[in-house]
């Protein structure tokens, strides 16, 4: 009786965690650049109760010992980095990535600060003094580009409009007749081990401290875009890759499993009641 209660309660806990994760995905169905989380269940440690030699009877199939399981737990929560649908907005500072790429940003605002990555390409231009404007994310973190081989932030002089080409090259177009200026190339990273990326706030991804960043993401800015299938689209945003149908189907499965576990708890509760009332 008590074992059943423990088993069912433990797995209801796991189902609750999965429900929380599904709710998170559903809440972010309209968030630009959001990547859904997935998780898997696993069964918990099984105890093997000893049986004496006398239990080895004819017709017994398994080795001596009675195994007892204790339920299920949520084993790993991972990001699903599949492509979301692109939507045209027409805003020149909106950028969407097609393919397995990530933008690099600096949440601290300095080039030497901590590195973060994102797919959320709804950038904006903020004034950085002297008429110049800097390209930042919608939370105000500067976007990193490679200019002449070194990293820098993207600054557009006054009077110039920003154009971003399919391979990430940044150009500024001035008044009619003037030559376009080169502003560098958007720094593009490719996630080789996407499951090691951690979600940090504001739709950014980071790498945990004890992991070498080079193992998780590689700089692919200088490689030709068609070699990797990564291209950048100005004027588009990438919608979240959450598929409502799949999430709702998972939600129903979790709900039904939860109900069944609750049924097992009430059943074992009835059994304990019977044992208590053996001698009324």
Partner 1 sequence: MLRGLYTAASGMTTQQRRHDAITNNIANINTPGFKGSNAVTRSFPDMLLSAMGGPEGTVNPIGKLSTGVFAEENLLSMNQGDLQETFRMQDIALVSDILVPGAVFDGSGKFVDANGTVTYQPQAFLSILTPEGEERYTRNGSFRTAADGTLLTSDGMRVLGVNGQPIRVNVSWDEVKVTSNGSLINGTTGQPLDGAPQLRIMRVDNPNFLIREGDGRFRYEGEAAGIRQIAANDRVDVRQGFLERSNVDTAQSAVDLMAALRAYEANQKVIQFYDKSLDKAANEVGRV
Q: List contacts with partner 1 (CB under 8 A).
A: 1, 3-4, 7-8, 10-11, 15, 38, 40-46, 48, 55, 57, 60-63, 65-72, 75-76, 78, 80, 82, 100, 190-193, 195-196, 211-212, 215-216, 253-254, 256-257, 260-261, 263-264, 267-268, 270-271, 274-275, 277-279
Beginning with the edge strand found earlier in the chain, give each strand of the sheet holding 188-191 in spatial order. Answer: 198-200, 204-206, 116-118, 102-105, 188-191, 217-219
Task: Name the residue nearer to partner 1 (CB basis): 75 or 222.
Answer: 75
Task: Name the residue nearer to partner 1 (CB basis): 2 or 179.
Answer: 2
Contact 68, 110 (CB under 8 A): no
**Shortest gap between Cβ of 157 and partner 1 (angstroms)?**
38
**Shortest gap between Cβ of 275 and partner 1 (angstroms)?**
7
Residue 14: exposed, middle, or buried by beta-carbon count in 10 A (0-12, 13-18, 19+)? Answer: buried
The rounded distance, in Å, linking the Cα atoms of 226 and 28 is: 31
Task: Name the residue nearer to partner 1 (CB basis): 117 or 141.
Answer: 117
The rounded distance, in Å, linking the Cα atoms of 41 and 75 is: 5
The DSSP letter of residue 129 is S
**Shortest gap between Cβ of 16 and partner 1 (angstroms)?**
13
Task: Name the residue nearer to partner 1 (CB basis): 108 or 215.
Answer: 215
* Residues in the chain, overall count: 280
User: Token pair for residue 191?
Assistant: 């996630």
Contact 93, 135 (CB under 8 A): yes
Task: Name the residue nearer to partner 1 (CB basis): 88 or 273.
Answer: 273
Contact 245, 253 (CB under 8 A): no
Task: Name the residue nearer to partner 1 (CB basis): 40 or 248.
Answer: 40
**Shortest gap between Cβ of 24 and partner 1 (angstroms)?**
18
**Shortest gap between Cβ of 163 and partner 1 (angstroms)?**
29
**Shortest gap between Cβ of 182 and partner 1 (angstroms)?**
30
Contact 152, 176 (CB under 8 A): no
What is the distance of C-alpha 118 from the center of its chain?
Answer: 10
């Amino acid at each position: 009786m008590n074992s059943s209660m423990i088993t069912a309660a433990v797995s209801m806990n796991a189902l609750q965690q999965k429900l929380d994760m599904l709710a998170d995905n559903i809440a972010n169905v309209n968030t630009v650049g959001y990547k859904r989380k997935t998780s898997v269940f696993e069964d918990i440690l099984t105890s093997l109760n000893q049986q004496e030699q006398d239990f080895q009877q004819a017709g017994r199939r398994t080795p001596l010992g009675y195994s007892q399981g204790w339920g299920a737990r949520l084993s790993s929560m991972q990001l699903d980095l599949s492509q979301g649908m692109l939507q045209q907005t027409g805003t020149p500072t909106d950028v969407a990535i097609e393919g397995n790429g990530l933008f690099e940003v600096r949440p601290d605002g300095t080039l030497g600060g901590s590195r973060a990555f994102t797919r959320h390409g709804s950038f904006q231009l903020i004034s950085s003094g002297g008429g110049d404007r800097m390209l930042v994310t919608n939370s105000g973190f500067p976007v990193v580009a490679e200019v002449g081989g070194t990293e820098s932030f993207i600054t557009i002089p006054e009077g110039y409009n920003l154009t971003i080409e399919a391979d990430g090259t940044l150009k500024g177009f001035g008044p009619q007749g003037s030559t376009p200026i080169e502003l560098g190339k958007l720094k593009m990273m490719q996630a080789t081990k996407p499951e090691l990326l951690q979600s940090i706030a504001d739709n950014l991804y980071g790498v945990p401290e004890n992991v070498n960043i080079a193992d998780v993401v590689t700089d692919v800015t200088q490689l030709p875009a068609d070699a990797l299938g990564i291209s950048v689209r100005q004027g588009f945003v990438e919608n979240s890759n959450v598929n409502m149908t799949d999430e709702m189907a998972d939600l129903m499965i979790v709900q039904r499993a939860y109900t069944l576990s609750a049924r097992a708890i009430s059943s074992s509760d009835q059994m304990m009641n019977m044992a208590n009332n053996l001698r009324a």
